[in-house]
């Protein structure tokens, strides 16, 4: 007759030695043939070993059986939660969409099964749910995200970063859970119009964390800066934007900075950033509000002709997309006697306004002429040489034209952005071909 107690001890010993295949064989025999003689630790050891050996489905079945008999047995509840995470939570968005209700039920069950600590699936589940909501909703569901964030005890979140790889397989340092919480909380508060909460949370983040990843410091400052604008303190918002804006910022960053300068009655500075936003290459339909805002700023300056051209550009983009124009835009069109159905097209109108935007943006920069010296593989940057034996670095997206046609030896005109780092070359921007 088999000695069941000896089998239990052997299985436990093998598990502790990480000889999981051998341990599973004994656990299986015990669980299937002698379950009445098994306690919760045997069931847990079996489920634990199965999950470690990448068999979460069977591990879940065993852990669920243990749960049904010993509901308050914390070690097993931990394994059961991790199995749910493996089988339901840690899936790609398209797979989750097939049965979203099961997904949210599984997430809620995990949070009911285990406490929030560094060993449990609790925090990881919350962040995966938030990631899914961010990826799959056309409009950020800030209220839902905030509710999930409130299920986390901030004081228990890990401050540890970890080394991994990005989506291209390159080494990178991943943000801690606490850093992610601050960034997502600030964003949720801003979208919920809880502007002072956003500011307070952002200030706490900068006083608590010594380093940031994924540019979270930039995005927190952005939400704080916009919140300052909303509570009537654009000057403080401008200070935050100036800490992270550079020549590579996104068009909407320049637009948001411009609105803060406008609120602060710095009209010329506002127009400069509006022009910079307009010149960033991006789909026109995403800039309808930008062009309308430029028009309103110019109207305030008394430059009606230019203002109406920008208002017309915004309206034309909407008409070409079959989008309804808001009432104030329609009123301005009627006031100007403009018809969106007449020529030119939105693209042609954009091209005609580019010189105006360039005049605003580059009025304080020195212009020069040179020759493309080299284009650095894979073709995203290069160097321009001038007659004065100077060389300037450039990024291909600064070329105003078909970048594929740009070759060494071609003569170009450009503006110079001085380097802010010692030892680095000045940068060429707004590059155009010089016609011989």
User: For residue 335, what pLDDT band results from cuts at 50, 70 and 90?
Assistant: confident
| Res 1: pLDDT | 44
- The lowest-confidence range among 18-32, 53-67, 386-400 is 386-400
| pLDDT, position 406 | 92
Give exposure, 76-112, as e/b (b: 16+ Cβ within 10 Å): bbbbbbbbbbbebbeeeeeebeeeeeebbebbeebbe
- What distance in Å separates the CA atoms of residue 380 and residue 78, rounded to the nearest whole number? 49
Structurally, at CATH architecture level, domain 365-433 sits in: Beta Barrel (2.40)
**Mean pLDDT throughout 6-16?**
96
Cis preceding linkage at 385, omega within 30: no
Domain residue spans in the chain? 4-153, 245-363, 365-433
Residue whose C-alpha is closest to residue 18's, from 49, 44, 47: 49
The predicted pLDDT at position 26 comes to: 96
Same fold? 4-153, 365-433 = no
pLDDT in tens, 14-35: 999 999 999 999 999 999 999 9
pTM of the prediction? 0.86
Which pLDDT does position 69 carry in this prediction? Answer: 97
pLDDT digits (tens, 9 = 90+) for 274-301: 999 999 988 999 999 999 999 999 999 9
**Secondary element (H or E) of residue 368:** strand 366-376
Torsion of the alpha carbons at 175, 181, 184 and 187, rounded to the nearest 10: -120
Q: What percent of the chain has pLDDT over 90?
A: 80
CA–CA separation, 158 vs 154, rounded Å?
A: 9
CA distance 320 to 139: 23
Domain 4-153 - what CATH class?
A: mainly alpha
Average pLDDT over residues 357-365: 86
DSSP secondary structure letter of residue 326:
P
Name the pLDDT band for 357 (thresholds 50, 70, 90). very high
Distance CA 39, CA 190 (A): 51
* Per-residue pLDDT tens digits for 174-219: 899 999 999 999 999 999 999 999 999 999 999 999 999 989 999 9
Is residue 271 predicted with pLDDT exceeding 80?
Answer: yes
Instruction: Give the C-alpha distances (Å, rounded to integers) separating 227 from 50, 186, 231, 283, 414.
Output: 50, 10, 6, 27, 37
pLDDT, position 218: 97
pLDDT of 275: 95
pLDDT of 391: 93
Average pLDDT of the chain? 94
CA angle 179, 184, 189 (to 5 degrees): 130
pLDDT(313) > 50? yes
* Topology of the domain comprising 245-363: 1.25.40
Asked if pLDDT for residue 237 goes beyond 80, the answer is yes
Q: Is beta strand 427-433 parallel, antiparallel or unpaired with respect to 411-417?
A: antiparallel
Confidence band, pLDDT 50/70/90 cuts, at residue 361: confident
Cβ burial 305-343 (10 Å sphere, 16+ → b, else e): eebbbbbbbbbbbbeeeeeebeeebeebbeebeeebeee
Contact 435, 426 (CB under 8 A): no
């Amino acid at each position: 007759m088999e000695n069941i107690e000896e089998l239990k001890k052997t299985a436990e010993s093998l598990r502790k030695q990480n000889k999981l295949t051998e341990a599973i064989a004994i656990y299986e025999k015990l669980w299937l043939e002698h379950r009445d003689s098994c306690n919760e630790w045997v069931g847990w050891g079996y489920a634990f070993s199965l999950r470690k050996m990448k068999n979460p489905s069977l591990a879940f079945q065993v852990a669920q059986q243990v749960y049904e008999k010993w509901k308050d047995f914390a070690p097993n509840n931990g394994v059961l939660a991790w199995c749910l995470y493996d089988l339901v939570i840690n899936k790609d968005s398209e797979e989750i969409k097939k049965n979203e209700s099961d997904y949210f039920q599984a997430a809620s069950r995990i949070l009911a099964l285990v406490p929030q600590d560094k060993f449990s699936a609790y925090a990881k589940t919350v962040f995966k749910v938030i990631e899914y909501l961010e990826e799959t909703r056309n409009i950020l569901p800030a209220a839902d995200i905030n509710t999930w964030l409130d299920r986390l005890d901030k004081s228990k979140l890990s401050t540890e970063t970890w080394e991994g790889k990005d989506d291209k397989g390159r080494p990178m340092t991943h943000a801690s859970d606490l850093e992610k919480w601050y960034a997502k909380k600030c964003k949720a508060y801003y979208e919920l119009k809880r502007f002072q909460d956003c500011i307070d949370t952002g200030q706490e983040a900068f006083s608590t964390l010594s380093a940031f990843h994924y540019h979270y410091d930039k995005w927190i400052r952005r939400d704080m800066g916009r919140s300052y604008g909303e509570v009537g303190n654009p000057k403080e918002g401008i200070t935050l934007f100036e800490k992270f804006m550079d020549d590579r910022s996104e068009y909407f960053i320049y637009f948001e900075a411009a609105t803060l300068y406008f609120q602060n009655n710095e009209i010329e500075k506002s127009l400069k950033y509006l022009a910079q936003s307009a010149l960033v290459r991006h789909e026109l339909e995403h800039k309808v509000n930008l062009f309308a805002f430029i028009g309103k700023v110019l109207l305030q300056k008394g430059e009606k002709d230019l203002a109406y051209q920008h208002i017309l550009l915004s309206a034309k983009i909407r008409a070409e997309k079959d989008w309804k124009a808001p009432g104030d835009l329609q009123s301005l069109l009627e006031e100007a006697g403009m018809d969106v159905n007449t020529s030119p097209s939105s693209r042609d109108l954009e091209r005609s306004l580019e010189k105006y935007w360039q005049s605003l943006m580059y009025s304080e920069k020195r212009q020069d002429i040179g020759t493309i010296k080299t284009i650095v593989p894979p073709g995203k940057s290069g160097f321009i040489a001038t007659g004065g034996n100077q060389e300037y670095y450039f990024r291909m997206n600064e070329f105003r034209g078909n970048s594929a046609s740009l070759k060494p030896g071609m003569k170009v005109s450009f503006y110079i952005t001085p380097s802010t780092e010692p030892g680095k070359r000045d940068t060429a921007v707004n590059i155009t071909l010089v016609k011989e």
